[in-house]
Structure formats: structure tokens, C-alpha cells
Structure 1
Amino acid sequence: MTTNTLFSTAIAAMDAEAASFGALFGDQQAVAARRLELKPELLLEAERFLDQIKTGRRRLSAFQEAMSSSDFPLYLADSLDRQLYGAYTASTPTWRNYVRAATVNDFRKVKRFATSGVRGILTEVKELEEHKRRAQTEAKYEYAVKKYEAGFALSWEMMINDDLDMFLRLPRDLADSATDSEERFAATLFADATGPNATYYSTGNGNLMTGNPPLTRSNLQLAITTLMQRTDDNNNPIEIDAVELVVGPGLTLTAREILDAKEYRAVAANGDVTVIAGNGVAGNLRVNTNKWIPSVVTGGNAATSWWLFANPNSGRPALEIGHLRGYEAPALYEKLPDMRRIGGGEVPWSFNHEAAEKKIVHVFGGSFIDTRMTIASNGSGV
């Protein structure tokens, strides 16, 4: 074989140059090499060894006395298998389902007016009698939008060293921050440290459930019925087409189980059981999980409080959040570079500090509007 011939030629050459061989490895190794020269079984073993190396069939244990990773502590100190985990997913905004979105012109307070109107049942007017003149009441709501910002700066060295493109997602983080800020701001309108915002939810307003019952199918049905029976200042029924249930993450599964139930059983006082198809509350009802409620409700009722809102697009809303006209969406900015290379070519960092800067600006505000269009419970049972 070709390999056998080459190997034999190499051994013969080494024997012919025994003096040089001995000088390299020592006299005892040279003598041992000459003794191995004329043994064909060792040549065959050497040929088999080389063949297994070429075909990849030689086990790694045959090289354990060769170089290992411990021989290169500096070269292999930094792993070549590196990866960047993505940031946590931002919470999905829900506030537009139960809060009316509006647009305002500037930073001054905006005024929202509501009137009772003159709607009502007509009364009989007898011959030559005059009809009754109706009067109306009015209410005013005010709020102003505010500016909210956040940003970051990256040094030139950080941008050069970013081999995993970690900093490319930072603008997306700013956009998610704006979304989170809106969602939490909405939560502050209807919640406080103990549950439903005590400024607007009370027994006097008729929108705080008696006894603060927990979220169950029967209590939810009672709350929906109460909301559907609302009347205006003239005792006219208020048309409510759809209802939004708002809970924190601690009640999400409970709310889903209530809405997804295919049937329920009603047990009468005498023990009779009535099986009713459907759950009796799912029609025109949607579950909204505001994940920022626990950051607002800090007094222990975050996992039990729940709210119902009439859909804000039908009639008067319970809540309103406004955005500055022309800036309805968050705006992302970057600082213009103030340095360029001699000979041409701008660079995206500053002259003095060699840093690149970006920021986000968002403008919004809001207010509670109508206490009739919502009802809530802190779920404590007291």
C-alpha cells in the first residue's frame, strides 16, 4: 500500500541518519527505533493507527496525553459559544378596551362637560294646559397631559464591543416602556392602595358592591345586572351593550374559568338541581388583565380586587386618557452627531464624550369621568 511504502521509507531514512536521530531524542531512543525498524507487525500497527486517524475512528482517549483545554487557559478563557437572552416580554396593553382614548391640543387643562339632557317620558297635557319645562344639570371634568421621557447613552467602546448586538434592542425597550407607562397610568385612575379607588368607588356612588364579595359567577352576574340597570339623572335607562371585566394577574384564571364554563348547576332550597347550559354571564363580556394592578394595589387586595366597566365607546365613559395632538404615539429621538472625520464621514457619537444618545418622549394624561359606568369590589368579603 502507498501508506506502507511511505512509512517504510521514512523509517529507513531515520535509520540512515541514526546520529541525527540520537542527537534529537537521545541515544537510548535511537537504539530502540533501530530495533523496531525490522518488525513488520509494528509497521502494520502504525499504519492502522494512521488510517484510524484519517477516517475518524480513533477514540479521543488515544490523545489524552496530548494537548487539552487546561493547556490553554488564556486562549480558551472566553467561551466561543455565547448567546444573548432576549428581554422579558412587555405586558399586553388592555386599557383601550375600558378607557376612552382622546386627543388634546396642548398642555393646558382640557375640560370635559356632561349634561343630564332633557330626555324623559312624555307627560300628558290636557286641553288648554301648558307643558312642563324641563331643566338640565351639568358636570365638568378636567385633566392635563404631561410629558414623560426616558433614554440611554452608549460609549463608543460599548458599541464596538457589542458582538451580540445587545444594544440594538434598547430602542424597543423604550417603546415597551411607553406602553407599560400607559397601562399603569390607567390602573392608577381606577385603583388605589386598597383596591378600587376610594375617591370614586363608594356606597354613596352606588358603584362599590356591598360587602366587597369575591369574584364568582353569581357575584359577577349580580354586578353585571346592577350595571345594566343604571339610570341617568332623569331616571332614564342607560343603554350598555358590552361590559369589560378588569382583574389583576391573580384573578385571571378565576375569571377565565367563569367565562369558559359550558354549564352550571343551580341548587334550590329544597335540594332540586337545575342544569343550565352556558354560564349566564359570558355574553358581551370580555376579560382584561391589567398586570400593573399589583404595583398600585399594595395593601393586600391586589389578587382579589375586580372591576366592571361599560364599554367606553357606547355612551359616556367611566375613564378617559388623552394624548397630545400630533404626538399620539410615543416618539423616539436620537442626538445628532457633532463630529466628523477629517476628509469626510460623520460618526454617530459626540465629540466630547464619544457617546451615542437616544430617548423616547410620550405625552398623555387622563381622568375619571362617570361613576355610573363602572362597579367594583376589593374581593375581601368585608
Structure 2
Amino acid sequence: MLAPERRTRADILTAVAIAAVVAIATGVVVLTSGVRGTHAQSATVDVPAPAAGGPVPAQVGELWHQPDGAAMRSLVVGGVAVTADGDTVTGRNPRTGEQVWKYERDIPLCKAEVQFGTVIATYKDDRGCSQTTLLNAQNGTRVAARSSYMDDKITLWPDGTYVLALGDNRLEMWRSDMVRTLEYGYVDAPVNPNTQPRSGCRLLSAESAPSRVAVLERCPKDTADRLTILNPAPKDGTAPEEYSSHVLTEPGGAVDGARVLAVSDTRIALYLPGTPGTPPALTLYDVSGNLVATHQLSAPLTDGAMVAKLSTGVFVFTGENLVALNPSTLDPLWGAQHVLGTPALMAGQLIVPVADGLATLDQNTGAQIGRIPLQRSDYHNEPISLAVSGQLFLERRGGQVYGVGGPAPAP
């Protein structure tokens, strides 16, 4: 029979050393990870979605307002309004503005968006706007996270399937679980070198649809902007798959201010600024990058121009007017003058902000069929992004979001 093994002094010292190393490593991870600098207050119960239908209120007023500097449009998911400012994303009761949940970190918030019933919140560290967290929009609980090199400033654009994250030098596409499907542009540490088709380009604008990504970029050797059309989810996300790429030869292609307005599965719509001899235009391209139509615009887009994608179509706010586009072909359908921002749908009706309130427009013609008076406080002609939660409106303007609605229903 073998004698039992005995622990020696060396064994004990080794075990103590291993335990110390593990403790130190754990401490370093905790001290340097995002968990340490995160303060979250989740909702105790999910906020129910508002009842569908119901008439558009005849009278409304401002109910509350909160800072909203990190969003690009009014954000609402079901029964929760979302504001993003400083280092905090907050879910709010859309009628009262009261906090339902909160997610806060000790680093600056770059941008926030909503899609898939979730909130996408991107924070900035020493690798740019690289830390992204996916939150349940109803209760604020953490669903997923990702981290990768990004530019110091980015925009987020959801298309219903993917989220496009765009900076001046780099673009990424993310799935609903935050897994990256595409990286395009600058790569800080390429696993496989020479996978990007070009280098040194500045990414000017981009939009996506579930089957296409359109990027407008200016590259060092090009004399005008380049339109590149990509697969949003190639077989290898580090090796972009181009459907087409060409330098624009249309008037305005070499003028600052061009941008991608919208992308469908069959068309790409660009805005091209005017030149001394030509007016500004909406130009349409097929998925191979071929020009198929040019529509002249009466005036250039202003700095406050915005695009809204609704279930009934795509709407371009030029800074003064609203242009409705066919959701498939992106051809202009109608225009409405003297509006203040992008529309929203309530009870099957198209509502748009106007000077003295909210106007109801005919979705087929853009003709005004109704008007809701609204007196806005602290308004200085900023563009307005409108959203709807039940019978409540959310107006984002001037870095603030305003809850707007009629009197609370009787209990």
C-alpha cells in the first residue's frame, strides 16, 4: 500500500503564490473593466406597450422635457421613451418623463439608437467610440456588448436588420446580437492584410438596407466622391464584398455636402449639391451603381436636413420642405412645404411638425387635412424629429426631447 502524499512547505508556498496571482489578476480585471464604472438601475417590471389605435388628440401641450444630446432623433420603444445625454441612457415614462430605468458609465456617451426592441448605447474610451452595450428597452437590463476600434465620433443608423456604425475613417455593420458582420475602411490591427479594397479614404456618408450598404467616400487619388455598394454580411466580415464602386461623374459629385439619403434592396438615393451651372439634385442608382434617374430640387439641403424611415415610406426633410420617397424605388412621390422636421405615424395618420403645431398630411398626396395647435417653449427654429408612443408625441429639438400630449385620461 502506498503511503499518503504529504504537502511540503514548497507545495504550500506555490499554492499561496498561485492564489495571489489569481487575486491580483481578478482585481486588475475588475478595476479596468467597464463593470466597475457602470451604474445601472433596472425597472422592476416591464412597461407595457401603449394600446394601438385611438384617435389623434385634438389638443396637446408640452408635458415635460429632458436633455438628449447623444441621440440623433426621438427614440421610443413601445411604452418607453429613451433619452441619452452625458454618460447616461435613461428609459422614461413618455407621459411624465419620470425615470423607468437608467444605465450610466464613467466614460462619455457617443451615440444611442433603438432597434430590435433594444437600446444601442456606444461609449468612448481610448480606442474611440468603441464600447457598445445592448439594453432591453423595457427594463434597461444588459443584453449584450461589443468592443472594437472606432472613430472618436460616430453615427448609428438601424435598418431593421443591421445597425450601421459610421465614422470618418471606419464603418461597421452589427447584427441584433452585436456581432460584427462587416468592417470597412481603416483597420487598426488587420488579421489578414490587404483585405480592404482601398486605404486612406474619408467616409462621408452611408446608409444601409438588409441586403445593401451604400458608402459615399473621398479617396486620395479620386477627383470626386466615390459611391461604393457593399454586402452588409459577407462570408468574411474582415474582407468587404463590393457589388460596385465608381467615382461620381454627375454634376455635384465633386462638391462638398453630398450624402447618401436612403437605400432600398434595389435603389440608392444620393443628394448632390448644386454647381454654378446646375441645381441640387436627388440622384437614383441601381444596385450596380448605374445612374437611373435625376430629380432636381428647388433648394439645397440645409445643415438640419434629416431622413425618417417609416412603414409607409422614406421622408426627407430638406430643412424647409418634406419630400416623400417611394420605399422601393426611392422616386419622389410628393412634397410638402413649410414643415419643421420629420414626421411620425399615429393612428394610421401622418403627423409632421409645423410652425404653430402639428399637421396631419394625406399620405398619398402630402395635402394637409388637419392641424393640432401646439405652443413650443424655448424654440429657436431647430429641426424637429417627431416620434409617437400611443397618443403621445416626442419632439427632439435643440438637444432636448419634449413630451407632448393631451390631458391624461380619467382613471
Higher RCO, Cα 8 Å, sep 6+: 1
TM over 0.5: no
The answer to which structure has the higher helix fraction is 1
TM interval, shorter chain, is under 0.3
Q: What TM-score does the superposition give when structure 2 sets the normalisation length?
A: 0.20
Q: Which has the larger radius of gyration?
A: 1
